């Protein structure tokens, strides 16, 4: 049997009992290490499972799937993926390949950003299509994401933006010379994402996004035990917050749609307070008891701004 | 600490290690028993966890949340929910209530239909807003779902339809007389769902849905160990299939959008074969070796119809 097992959002303990059982009986265990980031290291997984884990990079999963699937008709082989197995196209590929080889397959599901985004308090029913945001370069600024956000916004729907990840990328020079030297991993930050969004809005001028009137929710390491961050406010506020406010990657960003419910606004208040506090503390360099007052003032401002835009721009009836 | 823990899709083994750890340390463990169906019984959970599980019905979660939250500032209390904690509005309510009471909270995520729908092979990025389909009555046939499917269809997006569940409902008479007598649970079947869809299409005539030209994927017990069912074909085929083809509830239905990729078509072929086989075997009552041939013929027909519509109606380039 070929198992493809979701590891969930955060660390080795997010695996399901069913997934863990499959790993225990497997002859070989691969860990897919490129479509997402691992917050947990290979050696922690190995000591938790009590068996060797083989790291499978892009080359292996995309071009060497027959090596992964070898003998899976006679013994159990597991491929572990961060989140849920159906987050990335490549997993459909390997399942199709297994099917063609006559190998029985089983998928063990887990949480992924696609449903854990509910931690924002925004109703999952009211999300439109999900959009990927890629790193702009000097010469390449693809803006099709803008049309998708617009399509969602016209329906009043929220948009989940998945921010770009560059892992094991080669520089053009190294690629041309066939040198397997890789650049350090890069993860798009909330600030980069918001900057790119506003850059395209300034070019297209279709009024889909507004620095001061479009609400957004930034999420870092959703499901993380101690490092989950959720912050909320108008787009411009994210540019004022210090980079460390969002914690370590991965980050995602939600553009809030017009179908906003007063319970969603109420639930988001603490996230707006957190953003307000981060901004206030970074903009006024004071320590000691005064910083508590500044933080509290920032929280109140963040919450007030969040509620004001929800009420005046989004038209949500708040008491 | 108040924990709200997702149980995942199927049975007691779909819980994460993190969730299980929280349950082990908790003073009280509640099981929410109404927003979704449990495929697993309370007693199986109790023997798996080695502790008592208190069933929390709608009254308790919605009106008696203070009872659930009692002492959660001093000890650990868990509320277990099927799927992920952010599948239903009521969980936002109880988390807000905990926040007001100054009780620390933690959410432990898991898979839910909102991301496990990827098991259909349809890309999650290309799903629009999710739609709930409620049971029609003689006098009440709400059709707003039709507008939402239309909005998605105009963007070429897939639509996930969540089918209605009636658990612990009272008849009008019992409700009026204040008698706590409940009707047996009802779950909308795929056939009922398709019938309701086509009934509204016949009334509205906006061409959003077509019995023979709209492709759909039916899913039963996604993530279920032995009882997961996925079947695919044009809407009319689902009306020809015998009811048991879809297995026991819960069922969901996906309306396939125009942004269909050839890999999605290829991945769905086995599901189209399964539907074709179920139809062929139910429409010709023959046993023995002949039934194998009939089944195989049905599979080929199902696959052919699926590919033909994908190619001719959806415009997918297939080889």
Answer yes or no: is B87 a known binding residue: yes
Distance from the A86 Cα atom to the nearest Cα atom in chain B, whole angstroms:
5
Answer yes or no: is B222 a known binding residue: yes
A159 touches chain B (CB under 8 A): no
d(CA A189, CA A117): 17
CB contact under 8 A, A8 and B128: no
| A128 and B128 Cβ atoms separated by less than 8 Å | yes
Average pLDDT over residues B152-156: 97
| Best of B125, B132, B162 to mutate (most A CBs within 10 Å, chain A) | B125
Q: Model confidence at B178, in pLDDT bands (50, 70, 90)?
A: confident
pLDDT digits (tens, 9 = 90+) for A62-109: 788 999 999 999 999 999 999 999 986 678 889 999 999 999 999 999
Q: What is the structure's pLDDT at A215?
A: 98
pLDDT digits (tens, 9 = 90+) for B33-78: 765 555 567 888 999 999 999 988 877 887 889 999 999 999 999 9
| B253 and B217 Cβ atoms separated by less than 8 Å | yes
pLDDT digits (tens, 9 = 90+) for A169-225: 788 888 888 888 888 888 999 999 999 999 999 999 999 999 999 999 999 999 888
Q: What is the structure's pLDDT at B172?
A: 83
A96 touches chain B (CB under 8 A): yes
| B68 and B117 Cβ atoms separated by less than 8 Å | no
Residues of B in contact with A6 (CB under 8 A): 111
pTM (predicted TM-score): 0.94
B85 touches chain A (CB under 8 A): yes
| A282 and A191 Cβ atoms separated by less than 8 Å | no
Q: What is the structure's pLDDT at B64?
A: 81
| B219 and B119 Cβ atoms separated by less than 8 Å | yes
Distance from the B89 Cα atom to the nearest Cα atom in chain A, whole angstroms:
7
Answer yes or no: is B265 a known binding residue: no
Average pLDDT over residues A110-122: 95
Q: Model confidence at B166, in pLDDT bands (50, 70, 90)?
A: confident
CB contact under 8 A, B111 and A110: yes
CB contact under 8 A, B129 and A130: no
Residue identified by tokens 């339809």 is: B161
Nearest CA in chain B to A132: B125
Average pLDDT over residues B222-239: 94
Inform me whether the pLDDT recorded for A112 exceeds 90.
Answer: yes
A163 touches chain B (CB under 8 A): no
Answer yes or no: is B319 a known binding residue: no
- Contacts with B, A 20-39, CB within 8 Å: 20-21
ipTM comes to 0.93
More confident residue, B289 or A312: A312
What sections of chain B are H helices per DSSP?
17-25, 42-49, 58-63, 65-69, 89-100, 113-116, 144-154, 172-176, 190-204, 235-240, 262-283, 289-312
B87 touches chain A (CB under 8 A): yes
Inform me whether the pLDDT recorded for A42 exceeds 90.
Answer: no
- Percent of chain B beyond pLDDT 70? 96
Distance from the A76 Cα atom to the nearest Cα atom in chain B, whole angstroms:
16
B233 touches chain A (CB under 8 A): no
Answer yes or no: is A109 a known binding residue: no
Paired tokens of B304: 């052919």
Contacts of B144 (CB under 8 A, 6+ apart): none
Instruction: Report how far Cα A243 is from the mean position of its chain's Cα atoms.
Output: 16
């Amino acid at each position: 049997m070929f198992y493809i097992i979701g590891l969930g959002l955060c660390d080795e303990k997010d695996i399901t009992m069913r997934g863990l059982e499959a790993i225990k009986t497997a002859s070989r265990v691969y860990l897919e290490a490129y479509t997402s980031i691992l917050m947990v290291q290979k050696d922690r997984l190995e000591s938790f499972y009590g068996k060797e884990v083989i790291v499978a990079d892009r080359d292996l999963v995309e071009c060497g799937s027959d090596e992964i699937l070898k003998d899976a008709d006679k013994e159990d082989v597991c491929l572990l993926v961060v989140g849920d197995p159906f987050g990335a196209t490549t997993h459909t590929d390997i399942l199709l390949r297994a099917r063609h080889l006559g190998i029985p397959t089983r998928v063990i599901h887990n949480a992924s950003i696609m449903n854990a985004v509910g931690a924002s308090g925004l109703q999952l029913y009211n999300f439109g299509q999900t959009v990927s945001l890629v790193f702009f370069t000097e010469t390449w600024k693809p803006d099709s994401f803008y049309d998708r956000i617009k399509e969602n916004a016209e329906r009043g729907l929220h948009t989940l933006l998945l921010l770009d990840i560059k892992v094991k990328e080669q520089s053009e020079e190294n690629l041309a010379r066939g040198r397997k030297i890789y650049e350090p991993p890069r993860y798009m930050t909330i600030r980069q994402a918001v900057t790119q969004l506003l850059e395209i809005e300034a070019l297209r001028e279709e009024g889909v996004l507004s620095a001061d009137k479009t609400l957004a929710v930034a999420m870092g390491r959703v499901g993380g035990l101690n490092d989950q961050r959720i912050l909320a406010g108008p787009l411009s506020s994210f540019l004022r917050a210090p980079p460390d406010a969002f914690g370590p990657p991965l980050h995602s960003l939600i553009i809030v749609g017009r179908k906003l419910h007063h319970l969603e606004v109420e639930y988001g208040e603490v996230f707006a307070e957190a953003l307000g506090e981060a901004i206030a503390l970074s903009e006024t360099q004071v320590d000691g008891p005064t910083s508590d007052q500044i933080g509290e003032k920032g929280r109140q401002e963040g919450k007030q701004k969040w509620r004001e835009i929800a009420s005046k721009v989004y038209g949500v009836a708040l008491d």
